[in-house]
A and B are shown apart, each in its own frame.
Chain A
Amino acid sequence: MKADVLIVGGGIMGCATAIELARKKKSVILFEKDEPGRHASGHNSGGVRCQGRDVREIPLAVAARAMWDHHEQTVQSDCGFHVSPRLRLAENDADMAVLEKRQALLNSLGYDHEVLVDREQVRRMSPHVAEHVVGGLACYTDGLANPLLTSKAYAATAEREGVTILSQTRVIDVQKTANGFKVRTSSGKQYEGETLVNGTGAWAGRFSEMLGDPLPIYAAAPTMMVTDRVPGIMNGTSLGLTGRLLGLMAAENGTIIIGGGYRSPLDLEKEKIWIDPMQMSKAAKIMIEVLPALRSAQMIRCWTAFEGCLKDKVPIVGASTKVSGLFHVCGFSAHGFQLAPMMGRVMSQLVLGREPELPLDDFRPDRFEQAA
């Protein structure tokens, strides 16, 4: 079977790219070893966040944020999206200085989506934060979405646009040919395409290695937790910290989703993650310090997912510098979810040989070699 573009990985990046390419009349086959959205795309904490992003990502994040308002038209689902302002708290003067510097930097670059707020404003937004909190940086337009619903909506849209999604189909071999790529799958079939997109998340490094283009991507298992319903405590505002690890998402149903950098041990080969209970304990300690009213709240569940990470914590997006016709969109380092709609756009432009509408130079796959 042949197609213009072969996409490996049914995460949200692969599906977003597939949708845009199909809309530009390209034939696309997408391979997914499990089900679309099975890993980080469908099982992240659901944060749709511009706040705190690496400055290299901000143009993409700002553009992506606008697209989140139109999912009902673009993917026929609201994706469970709702606005929940994100407030990054300063727990002391040193934190506050960091936030002031951050805002100054953003202003100098022409961005105004992160706004400094004082003690009083913090308490208006989040009345239960502890006494020691001195201020914060607010991003009023941030929000939350349902990650699995979003991933499934993207996959379903791709199929509606004519993309062939092969679930439960693992790519076991891939070769560069004279006019493109040849892929062999676990179902014993062969596929050919002119270009190939690597959207394999945690597996992106080893996948790319099959083509002689190794990437410095490592797998991590972000660990999320959720409390029972504690209505009123968060006041609809999601929280982050400046000097410590913690992200608290104020879900609409009154539960709190906890993320922000907790990790569990994993075995990528066996696709197994052991949820580390120490992470729950660490998060619980900080939560009670920041929101003392949470003392009697219950932790009801943890979950994890495989994610691909890079040491500089921004993704690899762009054409392979070693294999012509190969494109990477991976290594989002646990904050790719929000970027997905925009990544689909720029990836499709790259694949079609056009100039991407926003520069992607900072995400070159060979940036680590250059640095070395």
Chain B
Amino acid sequence: MKNSYDAIIIGAGPAGLACSAELANKGLEVALLDEQATPGGQIYRNITRTSSRQRTVLGEDYTEGLKVIENFEKAAPDYLPRARVWQAEPNGEVFLSHKKSSKKLTAQFLVLSTGAMERPVPFPGWTLPGVMTCGGMSNLFKDSSLAPTEPVVIAGSGPLLWLVAEHLFALNAPIAAILDTTPSKQYITSARHMPQALGRFGYLMKGVKMIAAVQLAAKKAKVPMYRNVKNIEAVGNEQLQSVKATCGNKQLEFAASTLLVHEGIIPNTALLRQIGCEHTWNPVQRYWHPEVNEHGATNLPAVFVAGDGTFVHGAKSAEYKGRLTAMAIAKQLHRLSKCEYKQQAAPVREQLHKELQPRPFIDALYAPRKDLFAIPDEATVCRCEGVTAGRIREIVAQGFSDHNEIKSIIRCGMGPCQGRMCGSAVLELVAERSGIPAEETRPLRMRPPIKPVSLQELANAQLEETDES
């Protein structure tokens, strides 16, 4: 590793891998930093090490990642796994923690490809051991072939819910119930995006087939499956014992030791916010995403964002976005002429456009349902500081609508996660109680270090410029 690069890419998912490979292939000095031990991000997590059995279960969409890895390895940019970036600055400085020591790297350009995360949604009992997300389950399987051996309930809305259900059937996991919370009326409201989505008919059919396969498997295995489900509740004392929900007038309850929830995917904007990227509100998916142009340029001249961090579009799009960002940077650093840039970017841009065709339909179909954040007063919202929904409503009723101020006064979002887990919910609770639209409230500020760093490590940190090692 050097201390200084042409470009530093943060996050080794499909966008970061493709971007760093493209830049390295153009002769630029590139470093790819990633928190995990192996490249792949969340979607291709652990792909360099998974067994053929794991790969069979995870299917083609997963093994697609092998090609991305292959290109990346051929291009061979500097790659630093297990590196936690805790601060980045618009002048290209990156502060990171690696092997219990902190240091500073600099680059002319930064590409933040920190991807997406599952939308955290508080509900009664969500902090009980045994409750986790579908993505978390998927990670456990990718990392260590783990799958539940005791009854598991799958609840929520979105493609990942069906994908994980499919995997769990393939693994013969004892599924107690599948509870789809997608409101029926969203099948109608999303229909107007269908014509455009049909441009990628094959992609849509893959989704339809996946859901049909899960339904068939559920029928065969006599697993109860409900649609239009509401009011999910995790019940138990020390550990999850059962899952309650309602479906129409029906009260449901299933004994289970694991509950997998999923309420969609949102950009992971922590580093983007800390560095100072401007954000825009998406009213359909109800999340903040950075304001970027087609190749990921932000309001900060040296900072680009690539991949699902810009807007959740999936792995394939992330790869294209990563490449387009790389080309834009290569052009700025005179490794591509204007003409070459046009020639090379056009086909990638076209592939990206095609890939994006079904997204408005999917985003509308799996939009967060209206009552998703109708959180009961007694439910915990901020896990770090133990702040309930009721306490938040109370302070909003007193006239506070800025999460930053709410944080300072009742500590909601003040813990080590800096509001990553409660941010979405606080936003919606403020909107609900104050009547102020979410997009008009001041977004939560992220302060370095965005990940906790031990005092010993900070004390030993090499943060000043040093000679190349």
A148 proximity list for chain B (CB < 8 A): 405, 408-409
A280 proximity list for chain B (CB < 8 A): 448-449, 453, 458
B418 at the interface (CB under 8 A from A): yes
A335 at the interface (CB under 8 A from B): no
* Interchain CA distance A35-B441 in the complex, whole Å: 13
* Stretch of A49-57, A178-186, A288-296, A355-363 with 4 or more beta carbons under 8 angstroms from chain B: A288-296
Asked if residues B416 and A228 are in contact (CB atoms below 8 Å), the reply is: yes
* A281-B459 in contact given A35-B405, A146-B408, A298-B416 (Cβ < 8 Å): yes
* A300-B449 in contact given A280-B458, A281-B463, A294-B455 (Cβ < 8 Å): yes
- The count of chain A contact residues (Cβ–Cβ below 8 Å) is 33
A39 at the interface (CB under 8 A from B): no
* A275-B415 in contact given A281-B459, A295-B455, A301-B447 (Cβ < 8 Å): no
A152 at the interface (CB under 8 A from B): yes
Among B87, B95, B459, B464, the most chain A Cβ lie within 10 Å of the Cβ of: B459
* Interchain CA distance A295-B455 in the complex, whole Å: 6
B46 smallest CB distance to A (angstroms): 27
CB-contact partner of B408 in A149, A272, A297, under 8 A: A149
Among B402, B408, B452, B453, the most chain A Cβ lie within 10 Å of the Cβ of: B408
Bitwise, A185-227 to B at CB < 8 A (1) or not (0) is 0000000000000000000000000000000000000000001
A88 proximity list for chain B (CB < 8 A): none
Asked if residues A303 and B455 are in contact (CB atoms below 8 Å), the reply is: no
- Tally inter-chain residue pairs, CB-CB below 8 A: 89
A111 at the interface (CB under 8 A from B): no
B121 at the interface (CB under 8 A from A): no
Asked if residues A277 and B405 are in contact (CB atoms below 8 Å), the reply is: no
B249 at the interface (CB under 8 A from A): no
A285 at the interface (CB under 8 A from B): yes
B432 at the interface (CB under 8 A from A): no
A47 at the interface (CB under 8 A from B): no
Asked if residues A299 and B456 are in contact (CB atoms below 8 Å), the reply is: no
A16 at the interface (CB under 8 A from B): no
B89 at the interface (CB under 8 A from A): yes
Which chain B residues in 388-423 approach chain A with CB under 8 Å? 402, 405, 408-409, 411, 414-416, 418
Asked if residues B447 and A295 are in contact (CB atoms below 8 Å), the reply is: no
A257 smallest CB distance to B (angstroms): 11
* Interchain CA distance A303-B448 in the complex, whole Å: 8
19 further contact pairs, Cβ within 8 A, besides A147-B408, A152-B405, A298-B453: A35-B405, A228-B416, A228-B452, A272-B276, A277-B448, A277-B449, A277-B461, A281-B461, A281-B463, A284-B459, A284-B461, A285-B459, A288-B459, A295-B455, A298-B416, A298-B454, A300-B418, A300-B449, A302-B449
